[in-house]
Amino acid sequence: MAPSKEFTPLVPPKDVRPRSAFFGPSGRKNMLRDQLTITSWLALGALIQGLAFLVLGRLALLPAAALVFYRVFVIYAQSVGWLHNTFMDGVIMSKFSSQLPDENGKYGSVPAKDDVVVFLIGTRFNHPLGLLAPGVREFGGFMSSMIDQLDKEGFEDYLGSTSWLNAGTRDTSNELLIVQYWRSTEGLHKYANGPLHRESWDWFNRNTKAYPHLAIYHETFKAPAGNHETIYLNSHASHLASTTTKVWENGEEKWASPMVDASRGLLRTHLGRMTRGTGEEHAERGVKTIYE
């Protein structure tokens, strides 16, 4: 394999650990929207509009008409460049990869030099009341508390969490999936045997007969060093790229992003990122991107 320069980070380390992507600003709104079908939301809106018409007459049409006009105008203005396109907020206009730094904040020059553990934990509420079903509040509270604890306490080998809704199985109350990234199964197992997780698991075992509609599962995958790769192009920080690693700079604790430039060197190609190539495979086939 050809020698490579040390990878170049795209984001400077932060003094305080950013919140996991799990705690994104739209999580609760999307969960709420998932509780009713489109027809139910439309019917509810029609009912409210009808009641408003009985009270206000034709004036009741103005708020809805103004909102629709405003939304259409914003879409058009953003599309033609009159207004800032907020959908591009956070997008990194580059080709980048996720490479974990060492404890000194160094990324090295060898791709995928560390093991990565991917832990999937999910739940689904099989009840017509969805989020309002018995036991959901307590159950959801445990889930959020554990991720909050992992974020705030910087638990050993924990990198970060993201959350996803499975939109392909049914119309409402879909499965919620949490994807976690760890450096080792040892760190994951150590947390699983900690007080808060044990309390959560004991609660579930005590109440599983009372709340049979609460479903939970997990899957664990360990990708050894040299057997995983990531690439992002014109993307925001997502998945492994949204995580952070505790590093030390001049004796001070910092939190470093794994995002590094992938427009040159070994990280340009799939084989290079898997430590199975030179990074020149695209050039050999005459393939070139705008970032190379």
CA separation (Å) from 95 to 8, 44, 230, 233? 12, 45, 11, 5
pLDDT for the residue numbered 284: 66
> What local confidence, expressed as pLDDT, does residue 290 receive?
66
Percent of the chain with pLDDT over 90: 78
Decide: pTM greater than 0.75: yes
* Residue 4 clears pLDDT 70, i.e. is over it: no
Checking if the pLDDT of 282 tops 80, the result is no
The per-residue pLDDT for range 142-195, each reduced to its tens digit, is 999 999 999 988 788 999 999 999 988 899 999 999 999 999 999 999 999 999
Query: Mind listing the pLDDT tens digit for each residue in 39-98?
Result: 999 999 999 999 999 999 989 999 999 999 999 999 999 999 999 999 999 999 999 999
**Tens digit of each residue's pLDDT (9 = 90 or more) over 13-24:** 999 999 989 888
211/206 Cα distance (integer angstroms):
10
Look at residue 231 in the predicted model and tell me its pLDDT. Answer: 96
pLDDT at 117 over 50: yes
d(CA 241, CA 235): 10
- The answer to whether residue 292 scores a pLDDT higher than 80 is no
Question: Which percentage of the chain shows pLDDT scores above 70?
Answer: 95
Write down the mean pLDDT value for the chain: 92
Q: How confident is the model at residue 1 (pLDDT cuts 50, 70, 90)?
A: very low
Q: What is the pLDDT of residue 28?
A: 87
Say what the pLDDT of residue 279 is: 75
pLDDT of residue 154: 77
Which domains does the chain show, CATH number per domain?
38-86 (no CATH), 115-221 (3.30.70.100)
Residue 111: what pLDDT? Answer: 94
Instruction: Give the model's pLDDT for residue 14.
Output: 94
- Residue 42: predicted pLDDT: 95
